[in-house]
C-alpha cells in the first residue's frame, strides 16, 4: 500500500509540475499547529489549483516524513497526506475535504484561510478516525 501511495503521489507531482510549466507556479506556505510548512502551487486552469509538499527528517533513531497533495476547484478542495509521524510508527494516511478563502494583497502575494471540513485519519490509535472541522489554518501564496 505504501508503494502504491508513493507512486500515485509521484504521478500527481509529475502531472502538476508538467502542467505548471505551462501554467502559473507559486510557492505556498501554511502554518499547521503554528509551524511553518510549504511547497508549490500550480495553476492547472482557470479556477483549479494543485498544491504539493514533502517534509522529511531523520536522526540517529530513524526517519519520519510526510507527503501532501491537494486540488481545489474554486474554494472547495480534496487533500491527501501520506505520513510516518514517528520513527517506529506505521505509514498512515489522511484524506480530507476542505474549504478555503483567499485574498490577493497584490499581484504577487495572496493570503488565505483553509478549513478542513471532514478528515479521515488512519494513524494507529486514532480515535475517532473521522473528524469534523478538525483544523483551520492560515496560508500564503507567493508568485515565483
CA distances from 57 to 80, 90, 108 (A): 20, 16, 31
Domain positions in the chain are 2-143
Q: DSSP of the chain, one letter per residue?
A: -HHHHHHHHHHHHHHHHHHHHHS-EEEEEE-GGG--EEEEEEEEETTEEEEEEEEEEEETTEEEEEEEEEEEETTEEEEEEEEE-STTPPPEEEEEEEEEEEEESSSSEEEEEEEEEEEEE--TT-SSSEEEEEEEEEEEEEE-
What CATH architecture does domain 2-143 belong to?
A: Beta Barrel (2.40)
State the pairing for strand pair 130-143/92-104.
unpaired
What's the predicted TM-score (pTM) here?
Answer: 0.77
Taking only the tens of pLDDT, the chain with its 144 residues reads 555 555 655 666 565 555 545 458 898 888 765 566 789 999 888 899 999 988 877 777 777 788 889 999 999 999 998 888 777 888 889 999 999 999 999 989 999 999 999 999 998 887 889 999 998 989 999 988
Q: Which helix (H) or strand (E) holds 9?
A: helix 2-22
Amino acid at each position: 500500500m505504501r508503494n502504491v501511495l508513493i507512486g500515485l503521489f509521484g504521478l500527481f507531482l509529475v502531472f502538476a509540475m508538467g502542467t505548471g510549466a505551462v501554467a502559473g507556479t507559486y510557492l505556498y506556505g501554511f502554518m499547521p499547529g503554528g509551524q511553518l510548512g510549504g511547497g508549490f502551487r500550480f495553476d492547472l486552469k482557470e479556477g483549479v489549483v494543485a498544491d504539493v509538499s514533502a517534509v522529511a527528517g531523520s536522526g540517529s533513531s530513524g526517519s519520519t516524513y510526510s507527503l501532501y497533495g491537494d486540488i481545489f476547484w474554486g474554494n472547495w478542495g480534496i487533500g491527501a497526506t501520506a505520513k510516518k509521524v514517528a520513527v517506529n510508527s506505521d505509514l498512515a494516511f489522511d484524506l480530507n475535504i476542505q474549504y478555503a478563502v483567499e485574498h490577493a494583497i497584490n499581484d504577487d502575494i495572496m493570503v488565505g484561510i483553509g478549513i478542513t471540513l471532514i478528515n479521515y485519519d488512519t494513524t494507529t490509535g486514532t480515535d475517532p478516525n473521522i473528524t469534523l472541522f478538525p483544523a483551520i489554518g492560515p496560508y500564503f501564496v507567493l508568485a515565483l
